[in-house]
Amino acid sequence: MKLKMNAKMYADIPAQEQIFLFVEGDCVNGRHAVAVSKSWTIGRCASAIKKLLLLDESKTVKILKEDCAVDYADTVRTHLNDMDTVRIELI
């Protein structure tokens, strides 16, 4: 998979701030690549993933890394690295 070509992202994220993630879970078919900003909070990242992957707007997205929930108030930079795989759950 050509990650940077196929990743879904917002156009307003500067190239030096982009971090690419693989997203998988029961609510998505397969594994999807998305790009988010390193400076965003995990909560904003979850909202962006929900919109980019066209998930159910009425549900809350929970981001898991290594089967542990990530705190929504922290920044992406503190918990996630480039090319990490995260699981999402709709609750």
- Going along the chain from its start, the domains and CATH numbers come out as 3-90 (3.10.20.90)
Q: What is the pLDDT of residue 34?
A: 96
| Distance of alpha carbon 75 from alpha carbon 31, whole angstroms | 23
- The residues of the chain scoring below 70 in pLDDT are 1
Residues 22, 16: Cα–Cα separation, whole Å? 18
Assess contact for 36 and 45: CB atoms under 8 A: yes
Reading the block at residue 17, the tokens are: 């701030």
pLDDT in tens, 6-32: 899 998 999 999 999 999 998 899 999
Angle subtended at Cα 5 by Cα 4 and Cα 6, rounded to the nearest 5 degrees: 95
Determine how β-strand 32-37 pairs with β-strand 61-65: unpaired
pLDDT of residue 1: 57
Can you give the length of the chain in residues?
Answer: 91
